[in-house]
């Protein structure tokens, strides 16, 4: 059964829907849609709309659209998203549906995906095309997802309607509608229209119900902040153009301005693309969005800017520091990045770091890229750090080789080619170092030459037994800028 508004006929709605005035209202409504998200940290509510029983006429599976409220969501993590939509009279204004509070009928239609939230309603399909011939796209062909849950999921409507649902009559006492996006991708936008058939003041809440499930997508709550959002890092010219956008409460008209990076000399972006709140950017710069509450652009209600920067050459050099002195056993290496003046001036700081190690056959990845410049619990050996701007391989630079002094905890002189001799790690560059090996009674067994072949586990041609042995080394501390002379002693195991 179709819902019928009191004192209005379906014919009147159809005629009103087709008028130029209604088309203009539809377009303005899309421009003022509000950002929405639902994640584990918050469940938002927004006020519903009253006083517009005419609405927008027949749209999708809804034969009436009284008191339309518009909002949009942006996808963060890709996957399936399933939402419950509810509407109620929030008597105590706590944005929570409490016992005893009266629920209101809620119907909806959703469209997507789009590359931006700012869409003209002309591109929102108002009907369905079940035979996919591109002609006679009619609301009458659209299906209520309650009657066929797979209709929109399988895109049998052949339009950009992504879901649509209604309770057949207000007397059905169905106060929760389910909205599904089956295969959302990161960065996509979806537009949602929710009606208020009861024409009573209340709130609308959209809650994602599958957040804890495998392959669940998520919404991006950063869109709740007014303005243009975060700066944009572009990895090389091939990644242009990029689309930027912003929003301000109560703004229905916009203007973009541009300045060179590091300056505030803004000039208007020419053409119609400069008059909408999203912009296809083809070059680095500072982009400022101004919002107005009137179409004549005389009353400003918001202004914000962001930087679009090519970071493919962001890293000039990579240095490092080591917290511990030699022979500490494990070490803390901290990467130090020198960025270009342009990157530093723009406060672009999203660098990431990888630690590579030489295991005898060349350097391989030892620690994968991480956002922290600190690598803890690093054993002795040869390393270098690779630093780059986040997710930009073109910006990668590496440090000089990091040689950390240390010693093996054991060796196995059995002739198999593995750990057959014992020597200090990375002592070969200290020609003045003195290295002595003793048995457990303090008897000198061997004096080693830095960079030499090491100890083979013998004394006067005889194999020494499996046991613990001691060493003493005199060396210049490489961590000390004055290379002071140090003495270190430790023990290791001979295993046969």
Q: What is the pLDDT of residues 133-184, one digit of tens each?
A: 988 899 999 999 999 999 999 999 999 999 999 976 556 667 889 999 999 9
Query: Would you kindly state where each structural domain of the chain is located, as residue ranges?
Result: 26-224, 232-310, 315-404, 410-494
The distance from CA 7 to its chain's CA centroid, rounded to whole angstroms, is 49
What was the pLDDT predicted at 118?
A: 78
The H or E element spanning position 345 is helix 341-345
Cβ contacts of 298-304, under 8 Å, gap ≥ 24: 301/248, 301/249, 301/250, 301/251, 302/226, 302/227, 302/248, 302/249, 302/251, 304/226, 304/227, 304/228, 304/246, 304/248
What was the pLDDT predicted at 25?
A: 59
What was the pLDDT predicted at 411?
A: 96
Instruction: Report d(CA 58, CA 9) in Å as an integer.
Output: 11
What was the pLDDT predicted at 27?
A: 61
411 neighbors 421 (Cβ within 8 angstroms): yes
pLDDT tier at 229, thresholds 50, 70, 90: confident
Q: What SS3 class is residue 174? A: coil
Please say if the pLDDT value at position 12 is more than 70: no
Instruction: Compute the C-alpha angle 33/36/37, nearest 5°.
Output: 160
Handedness of CA 464, 468, 474, 477 (dihedral sign): positive
Please say if the pLDDT value at position 480 is more than 90: no
Instruction: Compute the C-alpha angle 464/465/468, nearest 5°.
Output: 100
478 neighbors 326 (Cβ within 8 angstroms): yes
pLDDT tier at 99, thresholds 50, 70, 90: confident
- Mean pLDDT for 304-311 is 96
What was the pLDDT predicted at 484?
A: 92
CATH 2.60.120.380 applies to domain 26-224: yes
CA 238 vs CA 167, 274, 285, 342, 392: distances in Å: 49, 23, 16, 20, 12
CA 418 vs CA 411, 454, 492: distances in Å: 8, 13, 16
Q: Which of 169 and 202 is assigned the larger pLDDT?
A: 202
| Proportion of the chain above pLDDT 70, given as a percent | 91
- Mean pLDDT for 462-489 is 93
What was the pLDDT predicted at 363?
A: 95
Minimum mean pLDDT range among 41-55, 131-145, 163-177, 192-206: 163-177
pLDDT tier at 21, thresholds 50, 70, 90: very low
What was the pLDDT predicted at 171?
A: 61
Provide the mean pLDDT of the chain.
Answer: 88
Q: Which of these, 175, 185, 148, 186, lies nearest to 164 by C-alpha position?
A: 148
What was the pLDDT predicted at 167?
A: 79
Q: State the fold for domain 315-404.
A: Immunoglobulin-like (2.60.40)
pLDDT tier at 7, thresholds 50, 70, 90: very low
249 neighbors 277 (Cβ within 8 angstroms): no
What was the pLDDT predicted at 425?
A: 92
Q: What SS3 class is residue 139? A: helix
For 87-118, letters b (16+ CB in 10 Å) and e give bbebeeeeeebeeeeebbbbbbbbbbbbebbb
pLDDT in tens, 370-410: 999 999 999 999 999 999 999 999 999 999 999 999 999 99
pLDDT in tens, 210-227: 998 999 999 998 888 899
**Residue at token pair 């994968």:** 368
Structure tokens at 483: 């290379």
pLDDT in tens, 242-298: 888 888 888 888 999 999 998 889 999 998 888 888 899 999 999 999 999 998 999
What was the pLDDT predicted at 168?
A: 61
The H or E element spanning position 439 is none
Instruction: Report d(CA 474, CA 69) in Å as an integer.
Output: 78
Please say if the pLDDT value at position 192 is more than 80: yes
What was the pLDDT predicted at 22?
A: 40
- Mean pLDDT for 200-209 is 91
- Mean pLDDT for 321-332 is 92
410-494 and 26-224 share a CATH fold: no
Instruction: Report d(CA 213, CA 367) in Å as an integer.
Output: 30
Q: State the fold for domain 410-494.
A: Immunoglobulin-like (2.60.40)
CA gyration radius, the chain: 34
Q: Which of 94 and 287 is assigned the larger pLDDT?
A: 287
pLDDT in tens, 446-456: 999 998 999 99
| Proportion of the chain above pLDDT 90, given as a percent | 65
């Amino acid at each position: 059964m179709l819902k019928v508004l009191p004192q209005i006929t379906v014919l009147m709605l159809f005629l009103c829907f087709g008028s130029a005035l209604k088309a203009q209202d539809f377009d303005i409504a899309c421009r003022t849609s509000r950002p929405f998200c639902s994640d584990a940290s918050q469940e938002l509510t927004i006020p519903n709309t009253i006083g517009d029983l005419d609405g927008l006429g027949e749209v999708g599976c809804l034969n009436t659209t009284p008191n339309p409220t518009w909002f949009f969501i942006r996808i963060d993590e890709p996957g399936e998203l399933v939402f419950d939509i509810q509407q109620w009279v929030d008597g105590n204004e706590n944005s929570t549906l409490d016992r005893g509070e009266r629920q209101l009928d809620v119907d909806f239609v959703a469209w997507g995906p789009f590359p931006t939230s700012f869409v003209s309603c002309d591109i929102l399909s108002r009907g369905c095309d079940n035979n996919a011939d591109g002609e006679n796209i009619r609301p009458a062909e659209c299906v209520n997802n309650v009657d066929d849950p797979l209709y929109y999921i399988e895109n049998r409507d052949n339009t950009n309607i992504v879901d649509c649902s209604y309770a057949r009559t207000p007397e059905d006492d169905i106060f929760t509608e389910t909205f599904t996006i089956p295969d959302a991708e990161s960065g996509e936008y979806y537009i949602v229209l929710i009606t208020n058939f009861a024409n009573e003041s209340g709130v609308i809440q959209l809650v994602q119900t599958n957040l804890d499930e495998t392959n669940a997508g998520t919404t991006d709550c950063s869109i709740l902040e007014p303005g243009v959002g975060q700066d944009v890092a572009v990895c090389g010219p091939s990644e242009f153009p990029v689309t930027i956008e912003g929003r301000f409460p109560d703004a229905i008209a916009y203007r973009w301005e541009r300045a060179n990076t590091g300056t505030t000399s803004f000039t208007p972006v020419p053409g119609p693309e400069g008059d909408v709140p999203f912009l296809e950017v083809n070059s680095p710069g500072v982009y400022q969005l101004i919002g107005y509450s009137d179409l004549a652009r005389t009353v400003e209600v918001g202004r914000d800017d962001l930087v679009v920067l090519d970071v493919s050459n962001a890293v000039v050099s990579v240095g490092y520091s080591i917290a511990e002195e030699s022979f500490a056993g494990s070490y803390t290496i901290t990467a130090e990045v020198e960025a270009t003046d342009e990157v530093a001036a723009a406060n672009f700081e999203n660098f990431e770091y990888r630690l590579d190690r030489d295991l005898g056959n060349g350097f391989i990845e030892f620690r994968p890229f991480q956002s922290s410049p600190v690598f803890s619990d690093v054993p002795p050996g040869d390393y270098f750090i690779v630093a780059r701007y986040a997710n930009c391989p073109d910006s990668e630079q590496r440090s000089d080789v990091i040689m950390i002094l240390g010693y093996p905890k054991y060796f196995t002189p059995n002739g198999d080619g593995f750990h057959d001799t014992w020597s200090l790690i990375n002592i070969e560059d200290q020609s003045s170092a003195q290295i002595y090996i003793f048995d457990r009674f303090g008897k000198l067994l061997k004096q080693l030459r830095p960079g030499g072949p090491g100890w083979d586990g013998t004394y006067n041609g005889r194999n020494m037994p499996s046991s613990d042995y001691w060493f003493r080394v005199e060396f210049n501390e490489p961590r000390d800028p004055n290379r002071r002379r140090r003495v270190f002693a430790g023990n290791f195991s001979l295993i046969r």
